[in-house]
Amino acid sequence: MAETLLFNALRQAIDEEMARDETVFVMGEDVGHYGGSYKVTKDLAKKYGDLRVLDTPIAENSFTGMAVGAAMTGLRPIIEGMNMGFLLLAFNQISNNAGMLRYTSGGNFTIPMVIRGPGGVGRQLGAEHSQRLEAYFQAVPGLKIVACSTPYNAKGLLKAAIRDENPVLFFEHVLLYNLKENLPDGEYVLPLDKAELVREGKDVTILTYSRMRHHCTQAIKTLEKQGIDPELIDLISLKPIDMETIAKSVKKTHRVIIVEECMKTAGIAAEVMSLINEQLFDELDAPVLRLSSQDIPTPYNGTLERLTIIQPDNIVEAVQNMLALNV
């Protein structure tokens, strides 16, 4: 076991897959000699050369379209968005091309590509650099959407995403890159479509993903002192949603709170709420509650920025209120 930072866990995953499969290559802005905006691709250009670690112009729609074409011909591109918000410029290529070509070609093409990079609300990065794109792409057919949250799952999930035959949007949170964790020495690959049971409990199910996993963990420490026993599930797979794991938990606790950094309107929590109400309504002892970011552009001001997203004390209060209503 070796202690590893999350950005190095991602770099290890890419390095191992590039060494394993010569069709895997990286492309994006500053991914080569600069080593990536958060050093995820550091030194890979020296090791594999400029033809497998391609520095591109600042033209997201162009190089994303090129990656789709490369995937159609048998290569496995990994696109890094310097900031995931920039990939809105490639929305057409990701949705109409990457997401749909396997279907519209009658299965004649597969699109094995990964689109990854930093996103989420950082610390005073401003509105355009604080995007949470998971909700933007949730409705696009043909895409898989994954959000890593720890160094361990970041490495195992990215390796799985690179090997998958479908386009995978792989979301990394800008504030988790320096998170540390001991990783196994041997190779491991994690399933892309499974949630993780982080903590077992009996009183309430808390569903979350990405950075909010750590806010929930912090909140649970306070709740434990009050004799409250929450169950915590990291969704990880945002498309498809792992309803099997969720159902097992809801049938035990009968109460659900969803915590997300995504915006409230049409966010990931909205989709999960709908699925729970459709499939598990009779198991609920209280309405499903969602704790989401406010529907406003993220302020640059640090104090205002903090107020737009859910904090651990908000989670504690929500759990207390839910259980108080159902004593």
Q: Which residues are part of the catalytic machinery?
A: 60, 129
Cα–Cα distances in Å, from 238 out to 2, 34, 70, 165?
29, 31, 26, 18
The CA distance from 236 to 128, in Å, is 24
> Can you read off the two tokens belonging to residue 55?
């520095």
- Rounded to whole angstroms, the maximal C-alpha distance in the chain is 63
Are the beta carbons of 111 and 155 closer than 8 angstroms?
no
The CA distance from 182 to 2, in Å, is 5
Are the beta carbons of 53 and 11 closer than 8 angstroms?
no
What ranges make up the beta strands (E) of the chain? 2-5, 24-28, 53-55, 76-80, 114-119, 144-147, 168-173, 180-183, 196-199, 204-208, 230-234, 237-239, 256-263, 289-293
What is the secondary structure of 169-193 as a DSSP string? Answer: EEEEETTSTT-EEEE-SS-----TT
> Can you read off the two tokens belonging to residue 195?
């949630």
The CA distance from 286 to 53, in Å, is 51
Residue 132 identity (one-letter amino acid): R
Are the beta carbons of 140 and 81 closer than 8 angstroms?
no
SS3 163: helix
